[in-house]
Amino acid sequence: MITLVSSIISILMVAEFVLGNFVNGFIALVNCNDWLRKQKVSLADGILTALAVCRIVLLWTILINWYATMYNPALYSLRIVIRVAWTVSNHFSNWLATSLSIFYLFKIANFSSLIFLHLKWRVKSVVLMMILGTSVILFFQVAVLSIDETIQTSEYERNITEKTKLRDILHLSNMTLLTLTNFIPFTMSLVSFLLLIFFLWKHLRKMQLNGKRSQDPSTKVHIKAMQTVISFLFLFATYMLTVILTIWNSNELQKELVQMLFQALAITYPSIHSFILIWTNRKLTQTFLSFLWQPRCWLKVKGT
């Protein structure tokens, strides 16, 4: 029974991995092609392209880590490289996705607050400063992680089980930083979502007072953006919970089935959310549909 469940989870992981690489690669290629053709790129397309590239790296690190853990323990010596690659790609994936939520907030919402209007007019600077500012935290996180993993790898190779105070402090610092770097962007995305909900509720109420229908084009745009943010928050919450449980519940992860389940849940976020981003983006949707229709048209022409 356990072998059957393990096989099902493995198939799901590989399927999500293939889907994730396809949709993220598609987003990156379409936006890069558009950038080369027009010689300019919008802020939203820039965020989407960077996010897609980071998620491809994240997908590969999750898959390699899963393979090394479950099927090839000999790759333990590459643990530091895998963990650093995952930390960097995870960091930028989370913060770029959060930047996208904040961009939707400033693009759609319109509050009378002077602070909000000031940030709305400078949304590009806000996003850039947020990404650059959090990179400083990433630098310290990678430094602590590298030292912690170096000590653990050295002890593993020499078969040392004795714990030291320095090792415990480094390990606790590493786990705390990982938790914070996942929790903070999620909190910011949640705040953006709540503000968007509040604005949309005010917008719909105002339309009802003016006798307009909820099928107004601007309302449809707002609802579509809300669907994107809701799906992102749900998947992000699942991913964050998986990461936190992985960090703080290492004893349970000694069980093979539990570890596989956690890895499968983790790979869902960068795969499914990117597919939703294609569905909610008009340019990407049209390009994707034309891409799907090309083989059918080619077969029709060949048949005639």
The confidence score (pLDDT) of residue 91 equals: 92
Q: Region 177-186: what's the mean pLDDT?
A: 86
Q: What is the pLDDT of residues 124-173, one digit of tens each?
A: 888 899 898 888 888 888 888 888 777 766 665 555 555 566 667 777 77
Give percent of the chain with pLDDT exceeding 90.
Answer: 14
Q: How many CA atoms does the CB half-sphere of 208 hold within 13 Å?
A: 6
pLDDT tops 80 at residue 32: yes
Q: Region 252-266: what's the mean pLDDT?
A: 69
Helix-then-strand count for the chain, H and E? 9, 0
Q: Which of 178, 186, 176 shows the shortest CA–CA distance to 238?
A: 186
Query: How high is the mean pLDDT of the chain?
Result: 80
Q: Region 53-63: what's the mean pLDDT?
A: 93
pLDDT tops 60 at residue 298: no
Tokens coding 1 = 């029974």
Report whether 58 contacts 93 (CB < 8 A): yes
pLDDT tops 90 at residue 55: yes
For residues 190 and 249, what is the distance between their CA atoms, to the nearest angstrom?
A: 25
Q: Which fold has domain 1-288?
A: Rhopdopsin 7-helix transmembrane proteins (1.20.1070)
For residues 220 and 222, what is the distance between their CA atoms, to the nearest angstrom?
A: 5
The confidence score (pLDDT) of residue 164 equals: 62
For residues 239 and 223, what is the distance between their CA atoms, to the nearest angstrom?
A: 24
The confidence score (pLDDT) of residue 291 equals: 75
